[in-house]
Amino acid sequence: MDAMGANLRYVGADQLRTHADSLDGTVLLSPADTALGRLAGALIDPMGRQVCYLIVESRGWLAPHQYLLPLGIARFDRERKALLVDVEADTLREVQIDTFQRFSDDDLIAALFSPVAA
């Protein structure tokens, strides 16, 4: 994990929501309308107060795999309960979620009192 990755925290999809819906179980669709997998969570930078990556979980033959999706333009399609993203499956990088700490109450306090403008 690089220096930037050491500052990132994992938040599960069950803790993420839009203004209208929970994002738990949301399917991610590529520009070709191909399902990339389901949203497993996000990596956030608490001090920078920003979401940096989405984590996509795709079922493999024997076990699920998680992939890192840089957060760019993503639109939520409420009717399909899907996130429309601007990447294809072959551009995703596999990641081990266990290498990232989970977002904690201490991270919340640090973010609240961070000098970075919201």
User: If you average pLDDT over residues 81-93, what whole number do you get?
Assistant: 86
Q: Does domain 3-112 have CATH number 2.30.30.240?
A: yes
Which of 60-64, 79-83, 84-88, 113-117 shows the lowest mean pLDDT across its residues?
A: 113-117
CB 95 within 8 A of CB 66: yes
The tens digit of pLDDT for each residue in 24-50 reads 888 999 989 989 999 999 999 988 888
Q: 112 pLDDT exceeds 50? A: yes
User: If you average pLDDT over residues 72-85, what whole number do you get?
Assistant: 84
